[in-house]
Structure formats: C-alpha cells, structure tokens
Amino acid sequence: MPRLVMKFGGTSVADLERIKNAASKVRREVENGFDVIVIVSAMSGKTNELVGWVNQTSPMFDAREYDAIVSSGENVTAGLLALSLQEMGIPARSWQGWQVPLMTTSAHGAARIEEIPTDNLDAKFSEGMQVAVVAGFQGIADDGRITTLGRGGSDTTAVAFAAAFAATRCDIYTDVDGVYTTDPRIEDKARKLDKISYEEMLELASLGAKVLQTRSVELAMRFKVRLRVLSSFEDQTDNSGTLVCDEEEIMENKIVSGVAYSKDEAKMTLVSVADRPGIAAAIFSPLAAAGVNVDMIVQNISEDGRTDMTFSCPTDHVAKAEAAMEAAKASGEINFHGLIADRDVCKVSVVGIGMRSHAGVAAQMFEALSAEGVNIKVITTSEIKVSVLVDRKYMELAVQALHDTFGLETAA
Ligand code: ADP
Ligand code: ASP
Ligand code: MG
C-alpha cells in the first residue's frame, strides 16, 4: 500500500468536533487506498498552558521535566483521533513518540530527530492497521527520557515520518489554506501561492513565518519530501493548498516572493567598546558560549578609538546575553560604558530567489519604508533575502508597505 502522512495542527484538533472532522479527512485517504500515518499536535492553546504551568512551578526548570510535561498535550489528541477513526470502523491505533520509537538527541526542548525505525509500524500495517496516529512534537533520547522538538515541532515530526516511510506526500493541515505571500492575518491582500520552492519556504520559516517549522522544511528539502500545506476547514481538490517543491517546478518567478516578520527580536547595544583587533571575537565568543543566538550585527564608526557594537538576538536570550557581557567585562576581556537592550523591535524581511540575479531589491525596500516614515535600525542581507530591524509599532505598516511595493498582490 502506498503511504501518506497527514498532519493536523492545534486549531485543527481544537475540540472533539474538529477531531471528528480530521478523522473524516483521514477516512477519505484510506478510501483512496493509502495506509496513513497521521501526526497530531496538542489541542490549540494546550501547549502554551502546559509551558505556563512549568514556568509558574519552577522558573529555572529542569528541562527533562519540561519535556515530560509539555509533550503530554499530543498524547491526548492522538488517542482521541484513533478513537474517532475506530468509531468510523477504521482500524487505527495511537502511538506516542517512545513507542515508535522516534529517537532524538538529548537537547531537551529543542531535540533533533536522529532515527525513526519503521519496523514496528510496518508490522502493524501488515497485520491490518490502516491508520497510525502518532503524537507529534515528541521523541525519546538514548537515556530513555522523553524529549520535544521545539515549538511548532509537529511539522518536523510529519516530514521526518514522510521521509522514513517513503510517503507519497506529506500533507500539513492547518488553519489557513496554504502558504501566502505574507501572513494573511496581518495583510488582507496577501495572495495564496500554488507552489513555493524549498529555499524560499526555508527562508520565510526561519525569518518568522510560523506556518511551517524551519526544521521541517530543511528535512523536506534534504529528503525531497513532497510537502503540501492546506486547510483542514475546507474541502480539498488535488490542487488545493500550496506545494513546497523544487525551484525547477515553479513557473512564477517574481524577484520577491514573500514578506516575513518576527516579533521575537531584541536589539542590544554595547556602548563605547575599544575599537581594536579581536574586539568582535571578544564579544561574540562569550555570547556563543552562553548559547545566545546572535542574528544581525552592526559595528558603528569609531571615534577616538571607541565604537558602539549592536546585535540582535531572540527576546528570551536577552538575560543570557546581559549576563555573558557583564561577566566578560568583570574578567577584563572587554570594556564598555553601557549595555542597552531594546525589546520593542521586530524584524521584517523580504525573500525571493529572483534576488540572486537582480540588483536593487534592498534599495527599493528602504525607499518603501522611508516613504512610510519607518526608521531602519539594523540591516542584513543574504543571497535571497533582505532583513531590517524596525520599531515593533511599525511592524504591520512595514509588512504592508513591502507587500505593496513588490507587487505581491498579483501573480507574475
Ligand atoms: P498549526 O497550529 O496548524 O501548526 P500555526 O499557527 O503554527 O498552525 O501556523 C499557521 C499560521 O501561520 C497561520 O494562521 C498564519 O497566521 C501564520 N502565517 C505566518 N506567515 C504565513 C504565510 N506566509 N502564509 C500562511 N500562513 C502564515
Ligand atoms: N504543540 C506543539 C506547539 O504548540 C507542537 C506543534 O503544535 O507543532 O508548539
Ligand atoms: Mg504550527
């Protein structure tokens, strides 16, 4: 039997009615002749609630217990979906990560999948099981402890299963009917894309478009998984949703294909550091050692041998960054007059493979922002993206202005 992976996100399994709706979509694929592996998220809001309980109980929590707790939401939906399918007369069984077993690294809270043995599920499929409902987001490390794959990790579970079981497709059912030129919740004029390349989807995801977890797109690209994003609330046709695929399969080739934003950014400035050889290493080595995920970096021009160094990092890394810099100052490795953390910023980015061969995108982006009176604080570019840090209050305005200036509302 050909295999299909279907993944239902939190809003798609938010209550018993929606779980039944998901079950009927699975039934249709069983009727189409597939053995189906379904990956489920926790009911929407559940994981946030569990994370909140962890923080209230223990602010400096033990990461192994965090995973034991936050992985539990998926267990409930896996069991309920298996029961709903059984009620429809379909032989279905739930699987928690450890039962498969989905083996991961022991990086609790952000574990990486190492291996998915197929023999257990294969044996059950050959005994007549038609649907395996697998709890997403969770796995098990070598030492037998439960792990989780980072927020949004069920997408990655789904793609990894699709690769391991050589599935025909991996369908990601969510609360929007595909990947849009930008988040349709903040730009009414956002346009659904029929197809998007792995490279562009990877950039959009890593720059904040949470419709797919970044790691899931990396895996899909590496294992050439046919990945489709579609709505669990609408009826599908074969061409529904958005296919994430190789660049060669795409006809539409705009220079810019999407705009992403991330609110989870902070800007840190070290005021007046000595401008000498080795200063960047002296600052960024301790930050790296402390696990601070530094993204953008700017060094200002120096005056009298001193300069300001600015960098961005996720808001929840600010405390670690401050501690690392104060420690480096105390040990005499660096010296600075002040450390300013600005949490009221956001990152807005434009993405497109057309940028590889087309100059002027950055200039057009800056002009559009300037026309709206939006001040740019930090800039970074790569081959297929330009990102800027701006005040958080301008986020929607900036996204909309960029969507307009690059003509994303209409197809190429
Ligand atoms: P799920 O719970 O199904 O995993 P998520 O909330 O993680 O769903 O992801 C879907 C959300 O991603 C949408 O509701 C939408 O607001 C957001 N999103 C951000 N950028 C985009 C984009 N470019 N296209 C579609 N959705 C996007
Ligand atoms: N339930 C987890 C989360 O909210 C994983 C997921 O939904 O993908 O992050
Ligand atoms: Mg998600």
Q: What does the pLDDT look like over 26-51, one tens digit per residue?
A: 999 999 999 999 999 999 999 999 99
Query: From the CB of 153, is ligand 2 less than 6 Å away?
Result: yes
Q: How far apart are CA 93 and CA 80, in angstroms?
A: 10
Residue 177 Ramachandran class (φ > 0 left, ψ -120 to 50 alpha, else beta):
alpha
Q: How far apart are CA 216 and CA 163, in angstroms?
A: 11
Query: From the CB of 176, is ligand 1 less than 6 Å away?
Result: yes
Interval 109-130 mean pLDDT = 97
Task: Check pLDDT > 70 for residue 380.
Answer: yes
For the chain, the distance separating the N- and C-terminal CA atoms, rounded to the nearest angstrom, is 40
Do residues 197 and 219 lie in contact, with contact meaning Cβ atoms separated by under 8 Å?
A: no
| Bridging pattern class, strands 242-245 and 195-197 | parallel
Best probe residue, ligand 1, of 174, 200, 216 (max atoms within 8 Å of C-beta): 174
Q: What are phi and psi of 105, to 5 degrees?
A: -70, 175
User: Can you tell me which atom of ligand 2 is nearest the CA of 74?
Assistant: 1
Nearest to 221 by CA among 149, 159, 309: 159
Query: From the CB of 67, is ligand 1 less than 6 Å away?
Result: no
User: Can you tell me which atom of ligand 2 is nearest the CA of 213?
Assistant: 8
Q: How far is the CA of 155 from the centre of ligand 2 (A)?
A: 8
The string of DSSP codes covering 263-280 is EEEEEEEEEEEE--TTHH
Q: Which of 168-172, 208-212, 251-255, 394-398 comes out lowest in average pLDDT?
A: 251-255
- Residue 385's pLDDT is 96
- Domain positions in the chain are 3-175, 259-405
Query: Domain spanning 259-405: which superfamily?
Result: VC0802-like (3.30.2130.10)
Percentage of residues in the chain with pLDDT exceeding 70? 99
Unique residue bearing structure tokens 């579970």: 157
Mean pLDDT of the chain: 95
User: Can you tell me which atom of ligand 2 is nearest the CA of 9?
Assistant: 7
Q: Which ligand is nearest to the CA of 351?
A: 1
Q: Which of 119-128, 232-241, 346-355 comes out lowest in average pLDDT?
A: 232-241
Task: Check pLDDT > 80 for residue 236.
Answer: no
Name residue 373's amino acid: G
Q: Which ligand is nearest to the CA of 186?
A: 1
Query: From the CB of 152, is ligand 1 less than 6 Å away?
Result: yes
Highest mean pLDDT range out of 208-222, 230-244, 287-301? 208-222
Reading the block at residue 195, the tokens are 């197809």
Query: From the CB of 174, is ligand 1 less than 6 Å away?
Result: yes
- Residue 125's pLDDT is 97
- The CATH number, out of the four listed (3.30.70.360, 3.30.2130.30, 3.30.420.40, 3.40.1160.10), of the domain defined by the range 3-175: 3.40.1160.10
Residue whose CA is at the smallest distance from ligand 1 atom 1: 9
Q: How far apart are CA 297 and CA 103, in angstroms?
A: 36
Query: From the CB of 97, is ligand 2 less than 6 Å away?
Result: no
Query: From the CB of 174, is ligand 2 less than 6 Å away?
Result: no
- Residue 235's pLDDT is 80
Q: How far apart are CA 289 and CA 192, in angstroms?
A: 41
Interior angle at CA 304, CA 300 and CA 307, nearest 5: 25
Query: From the CB of 38, is ligand 2 less than 6 Å away?
Result: no
Residue whose CA is at the smallest distance from ligand 2 atom 8: 152
Interval 281-295 mean pLDDT = 95
For residue 291, with 0-12 CB atoms within 10 Å meaning exposed, 13-18 middle and 19 or more buried, which class applies?
Answer: exposed
